[in-house]
A and B are shown apart, each in its own frame.
Chain A
């Protein structure tokens, strides 16, 4: 065990820190909220571009695809410095954290060369076409059809809860290509240009009041066959890889650490009964408990990073990370609301709201992430079944997707 950076790594760390001190945009809120504001999207894109040009984005990606060909330790250093420097979020995260690794694993050479560099520069913002009105936790029951006509897929159907679809350039999408096959074996994974004719995006307002996600309708949308990722009808394999990367993205300790830092700052300035909240014995207990939970997940991330470097299989770690970290983010926001006392009621529209009203929003937003990306309950199924080898819930004879659709697909 060795938890010290080498002299070269320390030099790199100083370089990153100095660069961030000069370049982090001022007065940009730290949360990843309110993405429907076009000005904010433009600023986030510009910030991503800046990070990319400085060479601080996706360091571990190969140089051929726009990365730095560096090791994951340098990526970790950058992540740590982004937290410490209170850098705002970028909006190409989905592309970097999910699409990139998925294409690296399953994409064709042409797909990698076309998309990976543009994901980094922010020219391509991605969204995820997974959930449908009838297919949430039972994702494999999805019914958006793709018929093969010549060398094209013709896609018809509907996706839902699609974050950022209103401004995304591309979607990675699960479609049913073989309705006769058992439901997991008739799905394909395709990349869809969001400017294609036949796509309608309708925003859905979340409980936060923000239209962060959408319904996406496909009416005979033509997608080149070259946009298939992995083998035809074998999209479930690719989807699982993507889901794994998604769990890891949602479990990022970067955001959690930023939240904790902000909570501690709040507790030191917010007064309760005439003294800083951080002097209240019960608040101190609460803050200490949250600190320990955040530190634990950070250390666990280092342990998993080491496992990766040692080429050990991750097992169900991503599910544990997702389950624990999302719950933790929600608890951090809840604690902030408590620390604020009556000020905890105030929304961002009120001039007396603390921290720009970020906490009540984050309290709601973080609940959404407990559900999104595979609900907490689905993660628990994965942990117990794949991790502990506990028996699956007995299921009725696996119905064909087509029969299920005909019977209304009510499951």
Chain B
């Protein structure tokens, strides 16, 4: 039976997330968080943890909700709708790695902490070469007494300023990479924030100067981290796509609301076809893309052979759609939409970062072409 729709539980999850974030993640909170050192609105994160969102992917036996990527995507869509700051998605990537490849001891040690909403993690994979695959990993890890020694630098690490632990992709063999959990407090770890135009997400540089980690910091197979990294990047792509859909839907609402209030030439500007047609184009662009997000999220759990292709399509498409939609929304707002005072630029800037994070649209389109064997 084909059923391409959400379950009642999923609809309830999404509705409650939307309502909570409308109340507790206001644009005022987003702006205030932008001034903080690490970009984490802590009371909101504690609340999200209480509701189980942070442990959504964690199996029930490990104390989580045991839900899937589609459920996660619905929460991410709402976070995107609210332009919510903080390391939610970044932490989910580490959680997903542990759920998929962690040993029992690693899961026990980390999953409760990461699901608590008080400890944060992220994935550190990009370097100066700016490649979104294992081949771009040059940071070296060598076996050392009692564990591994890591040396090198990571760039563009999502939510690095808030992360307590980094899942670091490191080269352990000429043709092999491995993933390591590196705690921020270790000797030789240095985190430097990078400046971006976006006020809602943080990125940073991670420098590891001969950092020694214990043997059990290795997550997954030694030298065999490539496939795991690829799966995490697909998950990240789906997550950003979901966030982008939510943000795009929100900026349409903002434009339509404004067009019903603002008057020029003695009429609501929303009664002009010049404005209405922009709004309709936004809807035609955005509305069908929700199905692509759902499919990519569903495939991540249920269609392993199609998951990479679906993630590439979703990321390529939603990145452009969100950016285009935010731009159109600014246009409908006119001058006020260009001000710092109006909230719209929070979404406009997030759209730009979303488009580039975890691979820009041309990268993912080329990936699709390769996967389809052209």
Query: What residues of chain A have their CB less than 8 Å away from a CB belonging to chain B?
Result: 1-6, 9, 73, 76, 264, 267-268, 278-279, 281, 284-285, 287-289, 291-293, 295-297, 299-300, 302-303, 305-307, 309-310, 316-317, 320-321, 323-324, 377, 379-381, 383-385, 387-394
Contacts and interface: CB of A to CB of B under 8 A. Distances in A.
With most chain A CB atoms within 10 A of its CB, the pick from B260, B272, B292, B362 is: B292
Contacts of B5: 1, 303, 306-307, 310
Interface string B257-287: 0011000000110111101110111011001
B365 A303 contact: no
| Interface pairs A-B: 6 shortest CB-CB | A288-B365, A380-B280, A384-B276, A299-B291, A383-B280, A391-B271
B1 A302 contact: no
A380 B273 CA distance: 9
A384 B2 contact: no
B294 interface: yes
Contact of A292 (B1, B281, B284, B292): B292
B295 interface: yes
Given A300-B291, A303-B4, 12 more contacts: A1-B7, A6-B1, A300-B290, A305-B2, A305-B4, A380-B276, A381-B277, A383-B279, A384-B276, A384-B279, A390-B260, A391-B270
B99 interface: no
A287 B292 contact: no
18 contacts: A3-B2, A3-B302, A279-B374, A284-B366, A285-B365, A285-B369, A288-B365, A292-B368, A297-B288, A300-B287, A300-B288, A320-B284, A320-B287, A324-B284, A383-B279, A389-B256, A391-B267, A393-B273
Interface in B291-339: 291-292, 294-295, 298, 302-303, 313, 316-317
Contact of A393 (B1, B6, B271): B271
A113 to B, nearest CB: 32
A377 B365 CA distance: 30
Contacts of A289: 316, 365
Interface in B1-41: 1-7
A321 B276 CA distance: 18
Given A1-B4, A380-B276, A391 B260 contact: yes
Chain B interface size, under 10 / 10 to 19 / 20 to 34 / 35 or more: 35 or more
B70 interface: yes
Interface SS of chain B: helix, strand, loop or mixed?
Answer: helix
Contact of A302 (B2, B268, B277): B2
Nearest to B7: A1
Given A285-B366, A388-B279, A383 B288 contact: no
Contacts of A389: 256, 260
Given A296-B291, A299-B295, A381 B273 contact: yes
A291 to B, nearest CB: 7
A291 B309 CA distance: 11
Of the listed residues B4, B279, B366, the one surrounded by the most CB atoms of chain A closer than 10 A to its CB is B4
B106 interface: no
B289 interface: yes
A2 B299 CA distance: 11
A42 B283 CA distance: 42
Contact of B292 (A76, A295, A324, A391): A295
A312 B121 CA distance: 41
A373 to B, nearest CB: 15
A350 B287 CA distance: 42
Contacts of A4: 2
A308 B279 CA distance: 26
A7 B369 CA distance: 32
B369 A284 contact: yes
Given A1-B298, A388-B256, A390-B260, A292 B279 contact: no
A390 B271 contact: yes
A303 B70 CA distance: 15
Given A285-B365, A324-B284, A391-B260, A278 B374 contact: yes
Contacts of B316: 288-289, 292
Interface string B340-374: 00000000000000000000001001101100101
Contact of B277 (A268, A307, A321, A380): A380
Nearest to B252: A388
B260 A73 contact: no
Contacts of A281: 366
B318 to A, nearest CB: 10
A1 B284 contact: no
B372 A390 contact: no
A229 to B, nearest CB: 30
A306 B4 contact: yes
A339 B316 CA distance: 22
Contacts of B368: 288, 291-292
Given A1-B298, A306-B3, A392 B271 contact: yes
Contacts of B1: 2, 5-6, 9, 73
Contact of B4 (A302, A380, A383): A302
Contacts of B284: 320, 323-324, 380, 383
Given A288-B316, A295-B292, A390 B279 contact: yes
B276 A385 contact: yes
A390 B365 contact: no
Contact of B283 (A9, A306, A320): A320
A371 B291 CA distance: 27
Contacts of B259: 390
Nearest to B286: A320
B272 to A, nearest CB: 8
B3 A1 contact: yes
Contacts of B289: 296
Contacts of A264: 374
Nearest to B370: A284
Contacts of B288: 296-297, 299-300, 320-321, 324
A384 B280 contact: yes
Nearest to B6: A1
Contacts of B374: 264, 267-268, 278-279, 284, 287
